[in-house]
Amino acid sequence: MTIDLENLPIGAFFEDVSGAIKSCNKLYLKTLGINNGNSPRSWREMIDLEDEMSTQKEWNEATNDKKSKHIKCRLKKPNGNIIRVDIRANPLLDKSGNLQGYTGTLIDITNQAMFEELLERFKKAVEKTDSQIIFTDAEGIVVFANDAVEKLTGFTSGEIVGTKAGKLWGGLMDAEYYTKLWQKIKIEKLPFDAEIINKKKNGETYFAQINITPVLDSKGEVEFFVGIERDITYFKEMDRVKNEFISITSHQLRTPLSSIKWLCELFWNGDLKGLSNDQKEIMQKVQNENDRLIKLVNSLLNISRIESDKIVITPILTNIPQLVDKVLDDFKELIKSKKQTVEIKFPVGTPQLFLDTKLVGEALSNLISNAHKYTPEGGRLWVKGKVIGNELIISVTDNGIGIPVNDQHRIFEKFFRAENALLKQTNGSGLGLYFVKWVTESQGGRVWFESTENVGTTFYLAFPITHKN
């Protein structure tokens, strides 16, 4: 029985000892992109430069031993394209054992090789990355854990695989945390992103940022979970130290600041008869600067408390128009001194809201202070309220210097101050609007603004009306 080379599903060839192709099938020609002629080109003439030395060496060694060959290399086709091929060849010997040539097969494995290479890279990336990565089945049983998991937790991959994720290193959060996590990834089939405290094999605890993503099959069912964990203990500690530093420093600063405040008060209550106007003005400036420092320290304290989750929100039934009146009362003299006018407008029967009155008062105070500061003499301020849908929207408007378009996207950032504000007023901390945003959003509200440079600005606070009374 003879085999027809043409019927083979792969390239096939026969070459003599000199390497000349004596016979080949169409798939051989097609794979290499060459024409049939009296003597079709040998694949060996087409080896890509990068593989040439090593491939020729491998081939020659095998030839000397009259052995079978299995070679993988890159070939350069006449059109310049590089392909990867898998070549297997067997020696053809005559009756005396002399080598007559080789019969061989040739397969284009370019796609497969690229896929394998990519897969290998993915595998390496997952195994070697600094983040802890685990894969679990749909029930949360670990099927894979990368090197970083062992490095961080101290548990080997062998110890982890087969256990329920987190069984060995978790369990320190309250039950509600894990219920929420499972609800999110398994029931809602959405990624879960949060901070967590876990423990290592040696019992040491660490802070981590975790992200668990459910991977769904074509029917939308959870096929497996990918969990990525990043050790953030160092950053947490840095943050704690920073906040503690701010907090302690602020308290220490407040002690002399309050003494100066009272000494000034005593001074003004005393006998001022012998003082010149200059002396009084100097004393007034001392007092004003001290008040400025007090405000700055209070802002810093607020920020450090926000960041260390130490502010407790205490909602009580709050009458916003009354609160606005009270806040504006503190600005009466300042507003008068700049000959500004204020218009207050709230609808009759404005609903009272359950809010932390003190915090919202401070937020409104920051907005009104900005409106006053960044509006020139003789300017106008408006504080209004409006019920739209299920929200009370409070707006604070001025016809002041406005916020430059380029600065608008950063206006709620901590310590950020707009360029024109810096030129106008040096005494701002850049903490006011950050605080406003936090106060509003931490109580379910929204904050936004509209501003045109040299025309004016409106800040809006929208709070949900959850309890009408």
Partner 1 sequence: MNKTPTLLLVEDEAPAVFAIEKYLTNAGFSVLTAFSAQEGLKTALESRPDAIILDVMMPAESGLDILPELRADSWGQDAKVIVFSNLSDDKHKALANKYNVDGYLIKTDTSLKDLENAIKQLLPKK
Within 74-93, the residues that bind partner 1 by CB under 8 A are none
113 and 119 Cβ atoms separated by less than 8 Å: no
Pair of tokens at residue 237: 């500690």
Contact 296, 369 (CB under 8 A): no
Residues 134-173, mask of contacts with partner 1 (x by CB under 8 A): ----------------------------------------
Nearer to partner 1, 236 or 305 (CB): 305
Say how far apart CA 3 and CA 91 lie, in whole Å. Answer: 17
Stretch that binds partner 1, among 52-60, 183-191, 308-316, 339-347 (CB under 8 A): 308-316
Span of 147-155, 158-166, 296-304, 392-400 interacting with partner 1 by CB under 8 A? 296-304
Please spell the DSSP secondary structure of 241-254, one letter per residue.
Answer: HHHHHHHHHHHHHH
Of 194 and 264, the one with the shorter C-beta distance to partner 1 is 264
Stretch that binds partner 1, among 186-194, 216-224, 264-272, 450-458 (CB under 8 A): 264-272
Which residue, 262 or 415, is less far from partner 1 as judged by CB? 262
Q: Does residue 442 bind partner 1 (CB under 8 A)?
A: no
* Segment near partner 1 (CB under 8 A); pick from 18-26, 106-114, 133-141, 298-306: 298-306
263 binds partner 1 (CB under 8 A): yes
Q: Least Å distance between CB 314 and partner 1?
A: 8
Rule CB under 8 A: which of 233-262 touch partner 1?
Answer: 251, 254-259, 261-262
Establish if 266 lies at the interface with partner 1 (CB under 8 A): yes
For residues 435 and 306, give the distance between their C-alpha atoms in angstroms, rounded to a whole number.
Answer: 9
Q: Does 20 bind partner 1 (CB under 8 A)?
A: no
Yes or no: say if 8 and 107 are a contact pair by the CB < 8 Å rule: no
Alpha-helical segments (H) within 147-194 = 147-153, 157-160, 175-182
Instruction: Report the Cα 11 to chain-centroid distance in Å.
Output: 51
Q: Is 298 in the site for partner 1 (CB under 8 A)?
A: yes
CA distance 42 to 28: 10
Give φ, ψ of 132 to 5 degrees.
-80, 125
Closer residue to partner 1 (CB): 211 or 298: 298
Residue 71 has φ and ψ, to the nearest 5°, of: -125, 140
Is the Cβ of residue 108 or residue 356 nearer to partner 1 in the bound state? Answer: 356
CB 357 within 8 A of CB 394: no
Residues 309 to 368 in contact with partner 1, rule: CB under 8 A: 310-312
Of the candidates 466, 291, 302, 436, which has an alpha carbon nearest to the alpha carbon of residue 363?
436
Per DSSP, what are the bridge partners of residue 448? 460
H or E element, residue 423: helix 419-424
Q: Which is nearer to partner 1, 284 or 406 (CB)?
A: 284
Q: Which two tokens stand for residue 39?
A: 């003597």
Q: What's the closest the beta carbon of residue 293 comes to partner 1, in angstroms?
A: 9
Give the SS3 label for residue 47. strand
Q: Total residues at the site for partner 1 (CB under 8 A)?
A: 21
CB nearer partner 1, residue 160 or residue 301: 301
Question: What residue ranges bind partner 1 (CB under 8 A)?
Answer: 251, 254-259, 261-263, 265-266, 269, 294, 297-298, 301, 305, 310-312
